[in-house]
Structure 1
Amino acid sequence: MPSQEARLDERVSPEELLRFLRDPRSYPHHPERVDFLQTHASYVFLVPPYVYKVKKPVNFGFLDYSTLEKRKYFCEREVALNRELCAEAYLDVIGIVRENGSWRFAREGRPLEYAVRMVELPDEFFAKRLLSEGRFGEPELERVAERLAAFYEGQRPNESILEWGRIDKLRITSDENFAQTEGDIGKTIDRTTWETLRFFTEEFYRQRAPLFERRVRNGWIKDGHGDLHLEHIHISPQGLCIYDRIEFNDRFRYVDVASDAAFLAMDLAFQGRLDLGRYFLDRMARRLNDPEMLELTDFYCCQRAYVRGKVESMTARDPLVPQPAQEECRRRARRYFALGLRYATVGSRPAILAIMGRVGAGKTTLATGLARAFSWNHLSSDRLRKELAGLPAGERPGEEVRSWLYSPEFSKKTYGELLRRTLDSLRTSASCVLDATFSSREERSKLQEICSQTGASLLFLEAQADDSVRKTRLSAREKEPGTVSDARLENFALLDDRYEPPAELSDKELVAIRSDRGPEEVLSEVLRALALRKASALP
């Protein structure tokens, strides 16, 4: 029968435990300071030369640390699993007891809590920091790929693990992700993005079912890392440590090698290095002699970005997380969801979405929505024209000025500058949305040449609306102050006559969009169309 003291210990508040763990005097080696971090599931205490990690008493369904017995088991499991890729860092599991009102770390007695004890790795060699300093690139990724390939190849096929590559098993995780983020709609993710990503996931399962079965049959489902991002890679001239392998749920580790590698590629993209993400995936495919994995990596990058968005959203809901940190988590969550949307619709290559169409078709409204959804630059020919002429964007000049502002010579200058800025963006691997009529085949051809030279993907989206709708919109501009476009109803026939329909573009190069409905409905349809194309297309 436990003592009254033990029963009271079991009801100690998180605040009381944190006071103990944040006090330098609590630790046997008496560190000078305690640096405190937390995630949605753990408290982490940096006490040089060690790190102590305590699991929160939480149950998220996919992760259950709700009892002391479970927290002990998962602490021990964490140490055992991580010694395979980072043996030098994981030391042991130590209990935390309370006796006569005093807390201490102890290997005897009745523990109230448990902590994983690790060696603190030198901060200067964490991959995320190295990347920010320009010291993490292709040579370092080559070392990571070599280590991971050897890790995967050292495993024998296991039927209980291979099963987790089947679609019915994959759906357990993806369905859980969407269910657990539905309450975040309007906070960290908008409904259009949530619905698009869910549609893409289901469509990919449907269209690529034979591919998933082939991956299982060929033995590519391994006991992987499960949480492979930059903060979990420590790489120095002397060694490589890949740590924090998932212990709390085996199905998160039992994944296709494409899924494991995609996590790191996605994280590199999140840090602004889509190019390094693509390089890493290519090197993994080559080292494993598995070119087929590249057919899955955009899908898995999307799933990984979604998981990170979910985790950040969960952390933002934790009442013990300070308000400023909660807001930062929400900001990161929105970025992760936007990145997931990118993978689900246009993929990982630098991309240009060129919104074209006749006057009054709704190009700018659609382009604005897409730029916001992807967090991309929005290059508008209307704004650029005014900028080049030194005119205020929201003021319509007189007829005399408009006569030269819209002359063939000045239009050529405007499109030339639009293409130049597009090229500048692509040279820095930045994608963007172009908002212009692209009324001539010559203008479209020049844009195609630029994208071909830089290896960027290009898709024209032609906004289409009935003449009556377009005329109504042009008439309404007379009463809308600040409208950038100078086109009005009086210009309708002239501008339509100048428009060359994009008959030269194939279905792979052009998507026609009915834009005579509400902006959100049109945006949703466009994203859904892009997701459908992505689910059915080979890389």
Structure 2
Amino acid sequence: MSASDEAELVAWLNGQSERAIETACARIFLAGDVAWKVKRNVDLGYVDFSTAARRKWALDRELDFNRAAAPDIYRRVRTITREAGGGLAWDSDGEAVEYALEMRRFDDRAVLSNDPDAIDGAMAEALGRTIAGFHAAAPLRPEGGWSALAFTVGSNAHLLRDLTGKLEHHRVELLVAKTAEELARQKLLLEARRDAGFARRCHGDLHLANILVENGKPVLFDCIEFNDLLSDLDVQYDLAFLLMDLDFRGRRDAAVRVLSAYLDEAARGFPEGLWEGLAALPLMLSVRAGVRAHVSAHSGDLDLSRAYVEAAIAHLAPAAPVLAAVGGFSGTGKTTFARAIAPGLGRAPGAVVIRTDEARKRLAGTGPVDRLAPATYTPEFYARVYETVFETARAALKAGQAVVLDATFTEPALRARAEALAVDCGVPFHGAWLEAPAQVLEARVGGRVGDASDATAQVLRDQIARHAGQAVRWPKVDATQATDAAATAWLASLP
């Protein structure tokens, strides 16, 4: 397409539109409840849209790929044709000039990148579980995984080195060297995950600008279609873009909530090796930050690019893992407290919160907030739940990720087992025992909705009758105070 033909096309589409949005690879024209997306006539190295056939191929794939996560948004590929009189038209009998993807227009204010601070705990939880469900249903891609990550590592190195003179050369070279070293170190793990079924056709570009909220639910859109090496990925690498984006924007609290929810949901159907794969998460976070570094530089924002380079380097020098355990009677707010301390523990994006309440639902084969029949709670099931939680925590700690165990821990033997697990894994242990008056706890238990806990007022009374007055060595936390203040004070007290 010549420059004059492209200018004519843009003018024609602008004439039908209220507004146009331009990206490095596409132009989107907004009109009423419709959006038309046209690929730009560009060859950027990592993507080649320099012919009409390539652009049509990419749009067809974009329609197909995105229907998996956003079927209500992606409608059809339309042909822009040349009429006999010389003008342009939609889908006429004339010669095909260009192609456009027709989508349902959505409120761009609902895109999460416009207001990351609006992501509350419930939305972070929904994000993690939605993405896990998307990945579980995605087609297997045995050629993806390590090879795809290696491709992006090489691409990042090339594109960042091309920015010599704009970015600090020694920082770029440090990042390139450390990334290559870590990629080689994780090769066997990534290949094992590929063989186990963790390499799938993923979104590929899963950051906040490609997630919107409609009817209170997250919707994933604009996945990568133009290069299989950017979309046939290890699912954890796909998730890592969102985790990195949230962490970079100062929302580590949301990032670790997303990660914890994702892992609980994924553990319901993914093969063994899910938790061990966390060993490769720092590399994946770093590579994602590296992508944003060269994209930001090519968009003209060198300060932002430099910040991403530094973030990418920092991810490759992660903090050591720790094990924390939060105990107390039902209603003390253990989960809320665990989630509040999680961002302050270990490497990015913080400590994974592992709940006995969620493990029970996984083992019982129910949804995360479905109630279990009282008959389910046998001594054997109780022991199996704790066994699962401890073994899961062990795998995460061995992979380098900090963990917060969230359970009642009313039995001294279970508290001792948590402490022994930390010793066995060679990590520091930090306990917290939450306390509040019985009447406060009963009111909280009675007011719960939409939570994984099945505890009732009678369950609470039984706990108090059996275990009140016992000596607990873990630091006490007043569960009647504001959670944020209590979490901040507890974290500040750590050695």
TM-score by length of 2: 0.60
Spell out the pairing of 1:158-307 with structure 2 (5 A cutoff).
158=140, 161-166=141-146, 168-187=147-166, 189-237=167-215, 239-289=217-267, 290-307=274-291
**Could you tell me how far apart the structure 1 residues matched to 2:125 and 2:98 are?**
40
SS at 1:294's partner residue?
helix
Matched position secondary structure for 2:162: helix
Q: How many angstroms apart in 2 are the aligned matches of 1:193 and 1:56?
A: 33
Change in 2 beyond 3 A, CA 1:67/1:218: same
Equivalent residues of 2:138, 2:202 under 8 A apart: no
What's the CA shift for 1:427?
Answer: 12
| Contact 2:153/2:180, CA 8 A, preserved across alignment | no
Per the alignment, residue 413 of structure 1 pairs with none
Map of 1:128 onto structure 2: 113
Matches within 5 A, 1:486-497: none
Deviation string, structure 1 residues 132-175 (Cα, Å, up to 9, x no partner): 4x3x122112212222222222246x4xx223223x55322211
SS in 2 for 1:245: coil
Give the deviation of 1:253 after TM superposition: 1.1
* 2:306 pairs with one of 319, 327, 334: 334
CA distance in 2, matches of 1:89, 1:224: 18
1:427-462 CA-to-partner distances (Å, cap 9, x unmatched) read: 99799xxxxxxxxxxxxxxxxxxxxxxxx99xxxxx
Q: Secondary structure at the match of 1:118?
A: strand
User: 1:67 corresponds to which residue?
Assistant: 51
Please tell me whether residue 144 in structure 1 is matched to residue 127 in structure 2: yes
Q: Is the 8 A contact 1:137 1:276 kept in 2?
A: yes
Amino acid at match of 2:137: G
Other structure's SS at 1:87 match: coil
Distance in 2, matches of 1:64 and 1:279, equals 37
Match of 1:153 in 2: 136
Q: Which secondary structure state, in structure 2, belongs to the residue aligned with residue 45 of structure 1?
A: strand
What letter corresponds to residue 194 of structure 1 in structure 2? V
Q: Give the unaligned 5+ runs of structure 1.
A: 1-8, 317-325, 350-425, 432-455, 458-507, 510-539
2:30 maps to 46
- Superposed displacement of residue 250, structure 1: 1.2
Which residue in the other structure is 2:317 paired with?
A: 345
Is the 2:112–2:211 contact (alpha carbons within 8 Å) kept by the matching residues of 1?
A: yes
- Equivalent residue pairs, number: 325
- CA–CA distance in structure 1, aligned partners of residues 233 and 208 of structure 2: 19
Return the offset for 1:107: 4.5
- AA aligned to 2:90 is F
Matched residue SS, 2:239: helix
* CA offsets 1:257-308 (integer angstroms, 9 cap, x no match): 1101100011112322123222222322222122223222221111111112
Structure 1 contact 226–253 (Cα < 8 Å) conserved? yes
Shift of 1:122: 2.2
**Of 88, 92, 101, which aligns to 1:103?**
88
Is the partner of 1:241 in helix, strand or coil? strand
Q: Tell me the secondary structure at the aligned position of residue 334 of structure 1.
A: helix
Distance 1:80 1:169 in 2: 21
Partner of 1:370: none
Distance across 2 between alignment mates of 1:232 and 1:281: 18
Deviation at 1:238, TM superposition (A): 5.1
User: Match for residue 19 of structure 1?
Assistant: 11
- What runs of 5+ residues in structure 2 fail to find an aligned partner? 268-273, 322-340, 347-400, 403-426, 429-495
Relative to structure 1, is the Cα distance of residues 107 and 201 closer, same or farther in structure 2, using a 3 angstrom cutoff?
Answer: farther
**C-alpha separation in 2, matches of 1:148 and 1:243:** 12
- CA–CA distance in 1 between the matches of 2:195 and 2:250? 35
Query: What secondary structure does 1:259 align onto?
Result: helix
Q: Over residues 290-340 of structure 1, what are the superposed CA-to-partner deviations in whole Å (9 max), with x where a residue is unaligned?
A: 2223222221111111112222333x3xxxxxxxxx3xx334323322221
Matches within 5 A, 1:471-486: none
Partner of 2:142, secondary structure, is helix
Cα distance change, pair 170–232 in 1 and its aligned pair in 2 (3 A): closer
State the SS of the aligned residue for 2:226.
coil
What percent of counterpart residues are identical?
27
CA contact (8 A) 2:282 2:318 kept: no
Are 1:118 and 2:96 counterparts? no
Give the structure 2 partner of residue 80 of structure 1. Answer: 64
Distance, in Å, in 2 between the alignment partners of 1:195 and 1:247 is 30
**Once the 2 structures are TM-superposed, how far is the Cα of residue 213 of structure 1 from its aligned partner?**
2.6
What is the SS of the residue equivalent to 1:12?
helix
* CA distance in structure 2 between the partners assigned to 1:116 and 1:177 by the alignment: 29
Q: Aligned partners of 1:10, 1:218: CA distance in 2, in Å?
A: 48
